[in-house]
Amino acid sequence: MVVDPLGEGLPGPAVVDRRRRRRPAHVQTARKADARSARSRSGFPVFAVALLCRRLHVKSNLPRGEKLINDLRVGDVAALMRDARKSATYKPALLKALVRRSREPHVARLSLLDLGEEFAKLYWNQTVIYHLRQAASLSKEAAVVRSIRETAARYKTRSLSNLPKSGQTDIAARLAAILPVNVLGAFHAGKPADMPDLYRWERGWPYVEITRDAHQFLRANALPLELIANYFWADLLEHCNRLAPRIIQKVSRDAASRKSLQKYLNILLAESAATCFYCDVAFDTLHAPTVDHVIPWSFLLEDPLWDLVLACGRCNSQKSDWLPSEDLLQKLLRRSRSGLRRPTSSVSFLITDGDVEQLYQAAISVEWPRFWSPA
Half-sphere exposure of 274 (CA within 13 A, CB side): 8
Stretch that binds Zn ion, among 184-192, 199-207, 270-278, 293-301 (CB under 5 A): 270-278
Is 77:225 a contact under the CB 8 Å cutoff?
Answer: yes
196 Cβ contact partners less than 8 Å away, ≥ 6 residues apart:
70, 71, 72, 213, 214
What is the SS3 assignment for 339?
Answer: coil
Q: Binding marks (x or -) toward Zn ion, 31..60, rule CB under 5 A?
A: ------------------------------
Q: What are the CA-CA distances from residue 375 to residues 157, 178, 243, 364 (Å)?
A: 22, 40, 30, 21
Answer for which of 187, 278, 299, 360 binds Zn ion (CB under 5 A) is: 278
CB of 316 to Zn ion, least distance (A): 8
The candidate with the shortest Cα–Cα distance to 83, out of 177, 220, 195, is 195
Report how many residues bind Zn ion under the rule CB under 5 A.
Answer: 5
Residue 279 sits in the site that holds Zn ion (CB under 5 A)? yes
CB of 321 to Zn ion, least distance (A): 17
Is 224:60 a contact under the CB 8 Å cutoff?
Answer: yes
Q: Which is nearer to Zn ion, 76 or 321 (CB)?
A: 321
Answer for which of 218, 315, 328, 359 binds Zn ion (CB under 5 A) is: 315
Euclidean distance between CA atoms 343 and 371, whole angstroms: 28
Tell me phi and psi for residue 354, to 5 degrees. Answer: -65, -40
CB of 364 to Zn ion, least distance (A): 23
Q: Which is nearer to Zn ion, 281 or 300 (CB)?
A: 281
Handedness of CA 45, 46, 48, 49 (dihedral sign): positive
Residue 312 sits in the site that holds Zn ion (CB under 5 A)? yes
Q: Which is nearer to Zn ion, 70 or 320 (CB)?
A: 320
Residue 294 sits in the site that holds Zn ion (CB under 5 A)? no
CB of 372 to Zn ion, least distance (A): 12
Q: Which is nearer to Zn ion, 264 or 277 (CB)?
A: 277
Stretch that binds Zn ion, among 14-22, 102-110, 204-212, 275-283 (CB under 5 A): 275-283
Peptide bond into 187 cis (omega under 30): no
Q: Which is nearer to Zn ion, 173 or 279 (CB)?
A: 279
The residues of the shown chain that bind Zn ion, judged by CB under 5 A, are 276, 278-279, 312, 315
